[in-house]
Structure 1
Amino acid sequence: MTRASLDKQPHEVAAMFDDVAAKYDLTNDVLSLGQSRLWRKAVARAVAARPGERVLDLAAGTGTSSLPFAAAGAYVVPCDFSLGMLREGKRRHPRLPLTAGDATRLPFADGVFDAVTISFGLRNIQDTQAALRELLRVTRPGGRIVICEFSHPTWRPLRTVYTEYLMRALPPVATAVSSSPDAYVYLAESIRAWPDQAGLAARLGKAGWAKVAWRDLTGGIVALHRGVKP
């Protein structure tokens, strides 16, 4: 198999991310037309990490997404299931406590984090509901979750242009800048198959999160979902 199917077999998805680890952050900047940096800033503001807090950054990849939380004085744990990503992250950020972990069976005790967050990773997990329940388990009562994920543009003309970009422009651009363009064909297909904003909010509520809300970024291409552990 040259790319992970939408069945999202964990070992296949992990191997795919292993292959793109070295150029992952650069490729994302190019493919998102620079928007990925703005999205990371929005996540950091939404998490609002404070000094002394414990933050879990799930699907952290190379750890780039974890840096704002560390800069805010929080103790951040970047966690990912791709060993290739973690190795690249350790090379770049040797002080971060990068941790290997399966999102559906996290290697942490109950209620140890003040905040948990995952950016552009929930879509790649085979059992989304199990991951949302696991994130709830490791969060303290009153703690918060922030999810940044691709979503559905709310303006129809933008939705049409975006869909065309995903399926026609993204693969050739990925071929030019990525070491594994097949991974970005999977990316496009997985985005199209992902639920809309209300659909993800419903999944959060079903997993036990309270006060669920979302905010659209870039016209709904990306959405920030938030919730609180009762």
Structure 2
Amino acid sequence: MATGGRAGAAGTRAGLDKRPDEVAAMFDRVAGRYDLTNTVLSGGLDAGWRRATREALGARRGSTVLDVAAGTAVSTVELAAGGVHAIACDFSQGMLAAGAARPVPKVAGDAMALPLADQSVDGVVISFGLRNVADPVAALREFARVTRPGGRLVVCEFSSPVWAPFRTVYTEYLMRALPVIARAVSSNPEAYVYLAESIRAWPAQPELARWLQSAGWVDVAWRNLTGGAVALHRGTRA
């Protein structure tokens, strides 16, 4: 795993103006076929990314973990494997409703104002959701507030491929092929134009590591998945 450098002044936006009410409404509209669309767009890699996220968190049996931006709670079910008490949290009521049958507790909440007490969980995970938050650094501070000392944060997010030729192909896929595929399988294909743009605007691995450090997380490091198209960032609550 690569380690984060010295924390500097972190930007709090990732290139797009993201109003929470508009983003939540967008996810409400895509909720019906969200899981299918993700699997198709990722070429089936999404299941492996979820397993890698659970392993990076390393939560012990009986511990309590909060899954922020959990969507339909597919990722929460993965986190709950092995006897972990995993809670799904999302600000889209439509997404939570779409995952109502999944056997994990669910709570509606904004990543920047979580409905949890201070130091109430042993770990926090956010998968492919931090880039949709209006102020990512504020959210990272909020994750630290609800995490007990020694607890771990794992951020699974799209990132910057490390090999230049692959990075070029990946960017072309995001901006050309992804919207076309989304039109065939998604319940709201227009939303995936925004999602592609949000991925392209997101900072590379070292910058996100600095954001974690500026929010108070220590022992910050990251590991690339799929050639850096996805990265797992982790930090520990001091």
Q: Is the 8 A contact 1:58 1:79 kept in 2?
A: yes
More helix by share: 1
Tell me the residue number matched to 1:212. Answer: 220
Instruction: State how 1:107-186 maps to structure 2 within 5 Å.
Output: 107-186=115-194
Using the alignment, how far apart are the partners of 1:172 and 1:117 within structure 2?
A: 30
Give the superposition deviation at 1:37: 1.0
Pair 1:12 & 2:15 matched: no
Amino acid at match of 1:38: G
SS in 1 for 2:190: helix
| 2:42 aligned partner | 32
Output the CA distance in 1 between the equivalents of 2:189 and 2:110: 25
Question: Unaligned 5+ residue runs, structure 2?
Answer: 1-14
Partner of 1:64: 74
Give SS of 2:22's match. Answer: helix
Q: Distance in 1 between matches of 2:80 and 2:232?
A: 20
Runs of 4+ in 1 over 4 A off after TM superposition: none
Higher RCO (C-alpha 8 Å, min separation 6): 2
Cα shift readout 1:28-87 (whole Å, capped 9, x = no counterpart): 000011111111110011112221100000000010001122221111110000000011
1:113 offset after TM fit, Å?
0.8
CA distance in 2, matches of 1:180, 1:30: 15
Deviations 1:143-177 (CA, angstroms, capped at 9, x unpaired) = 00000000000000000000000001111110000
Counting aligned pairs with the same residue, the percent is 63
Q: After the TM superposition, which of the residue ranges 152-161 and 48-57 deviates more from structure 2?
A: 48-57
Contact 1:117–1:147 (CA under 8 A) maintained in structure 2:
yes
Root-mean-square deviation (CA, aligned residues, Å) is 1.0
CA distance in 2 between counterparts of 1:150 and 1:68 reads: 19
Q: Deviations over 1:6-30 (max 9, x none)?
A: 2111111101100111111110000
Structure 2 counterpart of 1:29, one-letter code: T
> For residue 194 of structure 1, what is the aligned residue in structure 2?
202
Gaps of 5+ in 1: none
When structure 1 is superposed on structure 2, of 130-139 and 35-44 the one drifting more is: 35-44
In structure 2, C-alpha distance between the alignment counterparts of 1:159 and 1:214, rounded to whole Å: 18
Q: Secondary structure at the match of 1:147?
A: strand
